[in-house]
Amino acid sequence: MLKLPSNVTFESLKMELKQIPQTDLLRMAVALALVAIAAYFYYNKKPKGSLNPEKFIDFKLVKKTQLSHNTAKFKFALPNPTSVLGLPVGQHIICRGIDSQGEEVIRPYTPVTLDSHVGYFELVVKMYPKGRMSHHFREMREGDYLPVQGPKGRFIYKPGQARAFGMLAGGSGITPMFQLTRAILENPKDKTNVHLIYANVTLEDILLKEELDAFASKFPNQFKVYYVLNQAPYAWNGGVGFISKEIIRSHCPAPASDIQILRCGPPAMNKAMKAHLDALGYQSEMQFEF
């Protein structure tokens, strides 16, 4: 790849080129040279990601915010204030920790921040009583370091790849859905519609509800969310029980070649959702499981 001396700037090269006598042919050559030089400086100044797919890198926990009795938001600093994580939308990271028995454990997590958030990334983590990685996050204190590897995953989003997404999420399976939804809605050029069905046990278990409701309020024609609770409170206007075929039929886009239905939740839920989708006529290429 072309390497320019460190004391050479785009403006200095531009001034040098403008000193050349300008015939029509030379004008064209100078214009092309300026485009090439501008491209060089743009790509060499573009922030590089902070991840490594082959090895773990430590990131410092700078803020831990308790969201509920078993859920917290963890904010990790990147190498410098202008760094980006470098995680493609739709992919995840692998985190390494120590369980209650002192043994190493690794688990996948999806940040709720994007590369538009510079200098840091955030994880929203539900900590289960017997979860091995949950123990590690529960014990983490500000100033501790988390080993992270990535990017990982089979799904990489490109704006316009689908007319609409249907999303079936359960519990902490909301994080990859939230990441994708955020990327779509925060891009004014992306007109993809999103239909999210989010299942939990109780109202208090719903992760990122404030943010999801804000999306629904700000983008009413592009984003819809329907909550399903196993133990619903009095006067609940969402779904009750489990996600059924009828709920999917009512709140997801109908089977078509330009839609995708994404699912992420506990294994039993994912299995049940696949059976529902198959029965409703969603072909395998219309489905994806995180």
From the list 110, 113, 181, 192, the catalytic residue is: 110
Residue 221: both structure tokens together: 């024609």
Kind and range of the H or E run holding 124: strand 120-126
- In the annotation, is 110 catalytic? yes
Order of strands, edge to edge, in the sheet holding 193-200?
A: 239-240, 223-229, 193-200, 164-170, 259-264, 287-289
Pair type for strands 92-98 and 239-240: unpaired
The verdict on whether residue 176 carries a ligand-binding annotation is no
State the Cα–Cα distance between residues 163 and 184, nearest whole angstrom: 12
Please indicate if the annotation marks 175 as binding a ligand: yes
Cβ proximity of 212 and 178 under 8 Å: yes
Place of tokens 């064209």: 28
Per annotation, catalytic residue among 71, 95, 192, 264: 264
Q: Which of 71, 95, 109, 251 is catalytic?
A: 109
Is 124 annotated to bind a ligand? Reply is yes
Reply yes or no on whether 40 is catalytic: no
Residue in the block written with tokens 């990147």: 78
User: Is 264 among the residues known to form the active site?
Assistant: yes
Write out 229-255 in H/E/C secondary structure: ECCCCCCCCCEECCCCHHHHHHHCCCC
Q: Rounded to an integer, what distance in angstroms lies between the CA atom of residue 117 and that of residue 256?
A: 34
Question: Which is it for strands 287-289 and 259-264: parallel, antiparallel or unpaired?
Answer: parallel
Residue 107 labelled as part of a binding site: yes
95 has catalytic annotation: no
Measured distance CA(206)–CA(225) in Å, rounded? 12
Pairing type for strands 239-240 and 120-126 reads unpaired
Coil, strand or helix at 91? coil
What is the gyration radius of the CA atoms in the chain, in angstroms? 23
* Residue 134 assigned as binding residue: yes
Binding residues for FAD: 107-109, 124, 126, 133-134, 175
Residues that are catalytic: 92, 109-110, 264
What residue numbers does the annotated binding site cover?
107-109, 124, 126, 133-134, 175
